[in-house]
Amino acid sequence: MIKIATEIGIMAPIHICFDFARDIDLHTQTVWPHTKERAVEGVTSGMIGQEEFVTFEATHFLIRQRLSSQITEYKRPYLFVDTMSRGAFKSLKHEHHFIDLGITTIMQDVLYLEAPLGPLGWIAERVVLKSYMRQFLIYRNRELKSRIEEYSREYY
């Protein structure tokens, strides 16, 4: 199992950052365009909440995949956790942390993942997946930050 952590500061109130981060429509708009990610089951639009689930379909490594996850922890506006229930990984847990610093919110992602296939999966985690998933999170968070800050300038 590997752990990937990222952090970004956003000039916006914590509740706005929290709600934008759990918005399914925004999620699909802020990931890498080449993945063609879309929500196909469960909560497919709007904000996902406690115990709800979503299935995303996306292309990674030239393979069309489905990943289903459920919100297993939910403490608005400080934390929500989605845990994979079905997908290509042996396990995947994604913690979304939000820290209120007044005019700025720190958004932290902590991703735990384990690849299948025993020793081959262990190698894949360290050689390919750690870097790939870190870059995926960094890209998405920068896109999300941009949208949140644009919204906040307009309405706050």
Q: Are 137 and 144 in contact (CB under 8 A)?
A: no
Tens-place pLDDT, residues 23-58: 999 999 999 999 999 999 999 999 999 999 999 999
In whole angstroms, what is the distance from residue 78 CA to residue 83 CA?
A: 17
Instruction: Answer whether residue 155 shows pLDDT above 90.
Output: no
Tokens 């985690």 sit at which residue? 125
Token couple for 46: 């709007």
Token couple for 98: 């939000």
Token couple for 50: 């406690």
**Which pLDDT does position 93 carry in this prediction?**
98
Which domains does the chain show, CATH number per domain? 2-155 (3.30.530.20)
Average pLDDT over residues 62-75: 96
Token couple for 96: 């979304």
Token couple for 102: 């007044």
Q: Closest Cα to residue 69, out of 49, 92, 44?
A: 92
Token couple for 110: 């902590």
Sign of CA dihedral 23, 152, 143, 131: negative
**Which pLDDT does position 109 carry in this prediction?**
98
Instruction: Answer whether residue 156 shows pLDDT above 80.
Output: no
